[in-house]
């Protein structure tokens, strides 16, 4: 992919806040590792320390560093100084690599809980991903269904998801939805999937 982009003179932005949270399979080297002149790599403390800090890091090709610096400054001026001090103290005083290892175990367990609940409750005709890291499972419904209107029904049923349409640049409806397993314990994950199932079932029956 990087080779194609290099030939087309397209810069690659590798936005990888979940890369350290891989809990299964072979480690994947970042695109940036073998292509330091063609890829800007972004990491974030939002997923490995605390969400909402809005502190991350960028590995920028040397030839772009000044332009990157000016562009970043014009957008953010400066990331919050207090948050930077928190991150700095965290990296200095805590075993952050050990903490990431702990998170990997936690998310692997929550992911397993979600996959087991999906297997138990999802109506026939749905499919879903089996992630090897990160926070999310994507569920696909049959073609022709739009998950956006189902969100309100799901909220009424006591569960929330993100409709796939939120992740596309087009206005097309999406038959996919994203479920997060990161923030809730396994029992709550199973309960959430149990609540979601009849909402999907009803929409599929009406198709």
Q: Which is nearer to ligand PLP, 16 or 123 (CB)?
A: 16
| Pick from 34, 32, 26, 29: nearest CA to 13 | 32
- Give the whole-angstrom CA distance, residue 156 versus residue 199: 10
Q: Does 140 bind ligand PLP (CB under 6 A)?
A: no
Query: Helices (DSSP H) in 22-61: which residue ranges?
Result: 31-34
Running DSSP on this structure, what letter comes out for residue 158? T
Residue 178: CB minimum distance to ligand PLP, A: 10
Which residues inside 177-196 make contact with ligand PLP, applying CB under 6 A?
A: none
**Contact residue for ligand PLP among 31, 38, 56, 103 (CB under 6 A):** 56
Residue 168: CB minimum distance to ligand PLP, A: 14
> Residue 174 in contact with residue 148, Cβ under 8 Å?
yes
Q: Does 30 bind ligand PLP (CB under 6 A)?
A: no
Q: Which is nearer to ligand PLP, 103 or 157 (CB)?
A: 103
Residue 15: CB minimum distance to ligand PLP, A: 5
Q: Which is nearer to ligand PLP, 32 or 145 (CB)?
A: 32
Q: Which is nearer to ligand PLP, 28 or 207 (CB)?
A: 28
For the chain, the C-alpha Rg in angstroms (whole number) is 20
Q: Does 17 bind ligand PLP (CB under 6 A)?
A: yes
Query: Helices (DSSP H) in the chain: which residue ranges?
Result: 2-7, 31-34, 65-76, 81-93, 96-121, 150-157, 186-205
> Residue 200 in contact with residue 162, Cβ under 8 Å?
no
Query: Which residues contact ligand PLP by CB under 6 A?
Result: 15, 17, 44, 46, 54, 56
């Amino acid at each position: 992919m990087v080779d194609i982009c290099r030939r087309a003179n397209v810069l690659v932005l590798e936005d990888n806040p979940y890369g350290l949270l891989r809990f299964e399979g072979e480690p994947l080297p970042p695109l940036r590792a073998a292509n330091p002149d063609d890829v800007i790599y972004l990491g974030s403390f939002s997923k490995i320390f605390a969400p909402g800090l809005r502190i991350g890091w960028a590995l920028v090709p040397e030839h772009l560093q000044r332009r990157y610096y000016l562009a970043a400054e014009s957008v953010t001026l400066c990331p919050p100084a207090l948050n930077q001090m928190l991150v700095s103290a965290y990296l200095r005083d805590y075993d952050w690599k050990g903490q990431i290892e702990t998170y990997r175990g936690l998310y692997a367990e929550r992911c397993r809980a979600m996959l087991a609940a999906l297997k138990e409750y999802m109506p026939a005709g749905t499919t879903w991903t089996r992630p090897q890291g990160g926070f999310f499972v994507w569920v696909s419904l049959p073609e022709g269904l739009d998950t956006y209107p189902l969100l309100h029904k799901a909220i009424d049923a006591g569960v929330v998801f993100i409709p796939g349409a939120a992740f596309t640049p087009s206005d097309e409806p999406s038959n996919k939805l994203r479920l997060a397993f990161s923030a809730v314990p396994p029992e709550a994950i199973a309960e959430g999937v149990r609540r979601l199932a009849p909402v999907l079932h009803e929409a599929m029956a009406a198709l």
